Amino acid sequence: MGKYIGIDVGTSSVKAVLIEHGKVLCTESRTYSTHSPCEGWFEQYPRDWWETTADAIRSIASNHYGQIDAIGLTGQMHTAVMINSLGEPIYPAILWCDGRSAEQSNYINQHVGEHAVIEHTGNVSMAGFTASKILWLKEHHAKKAKLIHKVMMPKDYIAYRLTGVVATDYSDASGTMLFNVREKRWSAHMLDKLELDQSLLPDVYPSDTVIGSVSSSVVKQLSLGCQPKVVIGGGDNAMGAVACGVVSEGMATASIGTSGVIFAPKADYPNPGDGFQHTFCDATGNYHQMGVMLSAAKSYQWLKNIVGLSYEQLNTELKNANPVTTPLFYPYLSGERNPFYSPNARGAFASLDAATDVGDLARSVIEGVSFSMKNLWQMMGSPQRVRLTGSPITRSICPEIFATTLNQSIEVMPETCSPALGAAITAAVGAGEFATFKEATDHCVPKGRMIAPITKDIELLQARSEKFNTKLQHIKATFD
């Protein structure tokens, strides 16, 4: 059996994982900076992604694991990378959580018409999606916009640097507002209405497609000693689902990373409804629906930073909190996407008093994230087989609180079940080691641990969840 690297170009770092026989041999991670030149703006430099990715691959290669057969890719979705004809970025990458293009997003819905937008993309336009960012650049930096040769997503930029090939996959393309999800092709209707040329967009393929091999010059640069195939992979949520073995209808992943996601595979194209629950292609060639909250583990990280404690210290404080008197926290630090859409939403604590301490705040944040995730879970039809994955927030008391909030058992997946692992598994499928994703995940995905609801807290958290949603109606009025 071969060796496969999965690369995840995440929001805060690049992660690389090497697998063989379905087992993780090693992992590497490198961080990079996010820049916020204005409130609600979030940018990164694509060169930072490449330099950290190259360093992670070199580190794996230096450990002499032998020939690497293929590299699979994943990364943050929606983030707009715009390059000129020389392959150089013409502007910093505008991240998925960036809200600057709210006006352009509204224009898309109004100019094309919401019904038509849903018909041709399966979704409604939101500020975080790629198309509105292109329109924003055209409006505010017209000279730079004229230099755009190709628009791609972060993993696609890494694929380009590895191979020289400009490509994307169905799952990442689904989040651009320029892709017909039902028909799995770029939407001529949307491109025409927005006066964008299809030549600006990458060729689009299934996730397990081999788009080429690492170029000879890059092989030398990365000290690989071989020329691995490159498999295009998919968006981080699609690859995270593969890593958890969630590749068939009736299952769901609950991912608590920087953002929070409920991901539910669908065998057939689902009814997109009002378009506010995302309807995208998945890695297997089918579809999925997805609800996304923008500040999940990001909220806990924010609290950790402002109180000056480590995660371990904060988790200890959390266990001493009184769940009856804990404040309510609304995790809208970067706006919100689902179950309501508001780029202007901002976070808030409610019901603070003089006795509130750090532990109460910590539990409040975990509960606020859990209550918001429950709303997404209900949007997805309340699936009964939920696999939880994510960041350090899932290794605190979060799984118990989340399971109790849902009032059902959940399976907490091992820390290795990350989008990077999904990308490595997809590389193995693309290289022909496995015939199907189901075969691959049955072989490669480890079992998780089952977490049952805390029986004595079910009624309490049900009441607090309802109170959370009732107060939310009043808090929404302050967003604009």
Residue owning tokens 């977490």:
451
Cα of 82 vs its chain's centroid, Å? 20
The answer to whether residues 45 and 167 belong to one domain is: yes
Confidence (pLDDT) at 396: 63
Q: Which residues of the chain have pLDDT under 70?
A: 64, 392-397
The answer to whether residues 95 and 179 belong to one domain is: yes
**Rounded (10°) angle between helices 458-475 and 358-379:** 80
Joined tokens for residue 411: 């399976």
Confidence (pLDDT) at 22: 86
Q: What is the residue range of 168's domain? A: 3-239
The answer to whether residues 223 and 324 belong to one domain is: no
Specify the number of domains making up the chain: 2
Q: Is residue 7 part of a domain?
A: yes
E strands present in 136-274: 150-152, 167-169, 179-180, 185-186, 203-205, 210-213, 229-235, 251-256, 260-266
CB 287 within 8 A of CB 268: yes
Confidence (pLDDT) at 104: 97
Q: What is the DSSP string of 389-445?
A: EESGGGGTTHHHHHHHHHTS-EEEPPTT-SHHHHHHHHHHHHTTS-SSHHHHHHHHP
| 447 class by beta-carbon count within 10 Å (0-12 exposed, 13-18 middle, 19+ buried) | exposed
Q: Is residue 24 part of a domain?
A: yes
The answer to whether residues 203 and 318 belong to one domain is: no
Confidence (pLDDT) at 127: 86
Instruction: Single out the residue of 187, 172, 79, 170 nearest to residue 133, CA to CA.
Output: 79
The answer to whether residues 137 and 228 belong to one domain is: yes
Q: ω before 339 within 30° of 0 (cis)?
A: yes
pLDDT in tens, 39-65: 889 999 999 999 999 999 999 998 867
Q: What are the beta bridge partners of residue 212?
A: 230
Burial 274-286 (b: 16+ CB within 10 A, else e): ebbbbbbbbbbeb
User: Can you tell me the distance from the alpha carbon of 243 to that of 241, in angstroms, rounded to the nearest whole number?
Assistant: 5
The answer to whether residues 300 and 155 belong to one domain is: no
The answer to whether residues 22 and 132 belong to one domain is: yes
User: Can you tell me the distance from the alpha carbon of 345 to that of 472, in angstroms, rounded to the nearest whole number?
Assistant: 11
Q: Is residue 266 part of a domain?
A: no
The answer to whether residues 226 and 315 belong to one domain is: no
Helices and strands in the chain, H and E counts: 17, 23
CA dihedral 304, 47, 425, 370 (to 10 degrees): 20
pLDDT in tens, 143-175: 999 999 999 999 999 999 999 999 999 999 999
Domain CATH number, residue 357: 3.30.420.40
Last residue of some domain: 239, 262, 281? 239
Q: Is residue 74 part of a domain?
A: yes
Encode 282-299 in three state secondary structure.
CCCCCEEEEEEECCCHHH
The answer to whether residues 155 and 58 belong to one domain is: yes
Q: Which amino acid is at 343?
A: P
Confidence (pLDDT) at 274: 84
Joined tokens for residue 208: 């397990």
Confidence (pLDDT) at 86: 97
User: Can you tell me the distance from the alpha carbon of 329 to that of 338, in angstroms, rounded to the nearest whole number?
Assistant: 16
Last residue of some domain: 239, 257, 272? 239
Q: Is residue 225 part of a domain?
A: yes
The answer to whether residues 190 and 306 belong to one domain is: no
Q: What are the beta bridge partners of residue 168?
A: 204
Confidence (pLDDT) at 397: 65
User: Can you tell me the distance from the alpha carbon of 256 to that of 237, in angstroms, rounded to the nearest whole number?
Assistant: 11
Last residue of some domain: 197, 214, 239? 239
The answer to whether residues 233 and 312 belong to one domain is: no
H/E element, 16 = strand 13-20
Task: Please tell me what DSSP assigns to residue 270.
Answer: P
Confidence (pLDDT) at 135: 98
Q: Is residue 120 part of a domain?
A: yes
pTM score over 0.75: yes
Q: Is residue 19 part of a domain?
A: yes
Q: Is residue 300 part of a domain?
A: yes
**Rounded (10°) angle between helices 46-62 and 154-163:** 60
Confidence (pLDDT) at 163: 98
The answer to whether residues 312 and 233 belong to one domain is: no
Encode 97-130 in three state secondary structure.
CCCCCHHHHHHHHHHHCHHHHHHHHCCCCCCCCH
